[in-house]
Structure 1
Amino acid sequence: MTSQPATGSRILKIFPIILIFPAVALVVFLVIFPLIWALGLSFYSYNVLRGEPPIFVGVENYYRLLNSLDVWRRFVLTGQFVFYSVSIEFLLGFGLAHLFYNQFRGRRLAITLVTTPLLVAPVAVGIFHRYLFDATFGIYSYIAQLLTGQSVRILSQHPMFAIVFMDVWQWSPFMMLFILAGLEAIPKHMLESSEIDRLSPLAKFRYIVWPTIKPLVALALLFRTMDAFRTFDTIFTLTGGGPGTATEVLSIQIYRTAFQFFRTGEATALAFIFLVIILLLTNIYLRLARRE
């Protein structure tokens, strides 16, 4: 008599496991297993063109990369790109969010138009800006010539500006949407009370607006920073990492090491070094955010 309830209880306990098992198995097969396999490959010297089996070299790949000035230059270049892009996107996104927080005719249409760059494929963004920055018929080069009075080749003379401008064009709306969501979450009665108490705009921002939008701002900055670090397709399509190595961020160096020089083990080691640095920076950022 008591065996049936006991059996039913056991089934109820394992039923959630049965439901999530396919998803867990898929994650292990598509993510965990390739990650472990790639980590193992980073300890080997392997060139796919030679047709020879991988040679175990231990931590030699990591040692050589960590002592390479070229690698650290790419880290600095990548950090500059991330800092400039995310900072400008935050400021521009905050301004746009404040603008669209106010009600006006055509507001929804304007928001739709502003967020359109988020829907464009990254490769298309790179090709699109390549034409816009073209020294012969590009509209951006023409505007720069009008402002400076001389011919300006933006892609060759100011490549960092070009890739930052392109990234800001595509991702500022992302920042705007997060901040706008935070602004619209501010209770109306708090804003009305601040008007009655005649708080200054600075005090209103400090005590009402910022505490409300801070969690969303922190989340948006975290997402954008991590995404900007791994940017590859737009920069590769626009400049190819050039001129020379002027815009060769770390993701492009990993690509070239793996698919142009075919040093697969070294490229995998560089990718894991990059991953560890991003995780460390993310951890530091989250700790600072919790303290605040």
Structure 2
Amino acid sequence: MDTALKPRSTGRLMIVGFLSPTVLLLLFMVAYPIFSLVHYSFYNFSALNPDKGMDWAGLSNYEYLLSDSGIWKRFVFTGKFVFLCVTMQMILGIFVGYRLQKTFRGRDLLFTALMLPMMLSPVVAGFLWRYMLNSEWGVVNFLVSLFGFAKVDWLGQAGPALWAAAVVDTWMWTPFIILLATAAFRGIPETIYEAAEVDGASAAYVFFRITLPMSAPVLFIALILRLIDSFKQYDLFVALTGGGPGSSTETVSFAVAKTAFSYFYTGEASALAVILLCIIMGLAMILVRHLSNMGARH
């Protein structure tokens, strides 16, 4: 009996030995920063003046933030930005990915070219489009004027600035959806399409009743990743609009950074970051649960 238990215990020790470094690294890199963030959110203090100490604030930081109309405007703007970005990226990514699953001359070259925007840093993309969208000599307004339309102050008005930021983010991250969608579509067995063709199924029927349902788990993962990333968008707005005009294009992440590193209200910034973290985690848990149910049905 002891001989039988020995290999099992040895195997468990090996598993613990292999997992321990990863678990310790995650605790150090993930758990400790989150714990510190939550801890600081209950205090009033400034990282600029650490000598003044930390004053217990309880839930007053959260009460102040949730009663601030300016913070709610940032949440509304962030929600609009996420909705526009994710909607455009999913529609374009699925459509282009569906076309690219078929083999044709120049497909690999086109696929590589479409992936290029994703390789850029959001800051680089933001500055690039900032020059292109300049109201006076930007190439976008030059093209608009060629068609006889009036020039648009893309980055100087709240409405156009929102659309400009959404288009730039879509330009950058639609390739990510294309990449996952193409892989999902090409993973569907060709025999299923052949059977549908024999049965006389239309192209629309094949796409909506075969292609999309069979690739839904992968597309749903892409949706989750883009939702999470869009909610915490910061660096693109720093380079593209600087949060302006005024503060009309400040996302919640932008407000966190501004509160922490411009005003040095570290406690309030921590509380706002915790609120954003809870929203993202709650949304991710709902979507992951839905993904698990989707996998169980299949």
Relative to the length of structure 1, the TM-score reads: 0.93
TM-superposition CA deviations, 1:37-82 (whole Å, max 9, x none)? 1211000001123331010111110111112111111111000000
Aligned to 2:200: 198
Distance 1:30 1:189 in 2: 47
- AA paired with 1:196? V
Larger displacement relative to structure 2 (271-280 or 151-160): 151-160
Match of 1:136 in 2: 136
Residue 213 of structure 1 deviates from its aligned partner by: 1.2
Query: CA-to-partner distance for each residue in 1:142-164, whole Å, 9 max, x for gaps?
Result: 12233353232211131111101
Q: List aligned pairs for 1:128-277, cutoff 5 A.
A: 128-157=128-157, 158-277=160-279
CA distance in 2: counterparts of 1:223 and 1:252, whole angstroms: 20
Task: Find the residue that maps to 1:237 and give its secondary structure.
Answer: helix
Q: Distance in 2 between matches of 1:139 and 1:4?
A: 77
Cα pair distance change 1:113/1:66, threshold 3 Å = same
User: Which is worse superposed, 33-42 or 250-259?
Assistant: 33-42
Counterpart Cα distance in 1 of 2:15 and 2:291: 34
Distance 2:12 2:81 in 1: 50
State the distance in 2 between where 1:148 and 1:160 align.
24
CA distance in 2, matches of 1:31, 1:11: 30
The DSSP-based 3-state class of the residue aligned with 2:128 is: helix
Superposed CA deviations along residues 253-283 of structure 1, whole A, max 9, x for unmatched, are 1110000010000000000001111122223
Higher mean C-alpha deviation, range 216-225 or range 98-107: 98-107
**Partner letter of residue 115 of structure 1?**
M
Query: How many angstroms apart in 2 are the aligned matches of 1:245 and 1:52?
Result: 30
Q: Distance in 2 between matches of 1:147 and 1:268?
A: 48
Using a 3 Å threshold, how does the CA distance of structure 1 residues 205 and 141 change in structure 2: closer, same or farther? same
Q: Does 1:102 align with 2:102?
A: yes
Q: 1:277 to 1:3 in 2, by over 3 A?
A: closer
**Residues 213/261 of structure 1: CA separation in 2 closer, same or farther (3 Å cut):** same
Amino acid at match of 2:156: S
Q: For residues 76-91 of structure 1, what are the structure 2 equivalents within 5 Å?
A: 76-91=76-91
**SS of match in other structure, 1:199:** coil
Distance 1:46 1:194, change over 3 A: same
Note the C-alpha offset of 1:289: 4.5
Where does structure 1 lack aligned partners over 5 or more consecutive residues? none
Distance in 1 between residues matched to 2:25 and 2:4, nearest whole Å:
33
Structure 1 SS opposite 2:155: helix
Aligned length: 291
Query: In structure 2, what is the equivalent of residue 15 of structure 1?
Result: 14
Question: Tell me, what secondary structure is at the counterpart of 2:137?
Answer: coil
State the distance in 1 between where 2:129 and 2:273 align.
Answer: 28
Residue 210 of structure 1 deviates from its aligned partner by 1.6
Q: Determine what percentage of the aligned residue pairs are the same residue.
A: 33
RMSD: 1.9
Q: Give the TM-score normalised by the residue count of structure 2.
A: 0.91
Q: Distance in 2 between matches of 1:148 and 1:222?
A: 41
SS of alignment partner, residue 243 of structure 2: coil
- Aligned residue type for 2:285: N
Q: CA deviation at 1:287?
A: 4.1
The amino acid across from 2:138 in the alignment is G
Equivalent pair of 1:185/1:212 in contact (CA under 8 Å): no
- Distance between the aligned counterparts of 1:3 and 1:107, measured in 2? 62
Shift of 1:288: 4.3
Q: How much has 1:206 moved relative to structure 2?
A: 2.9
Structure 1 Cα separation of the partners of residues 7 and 289 of structure 2: 45
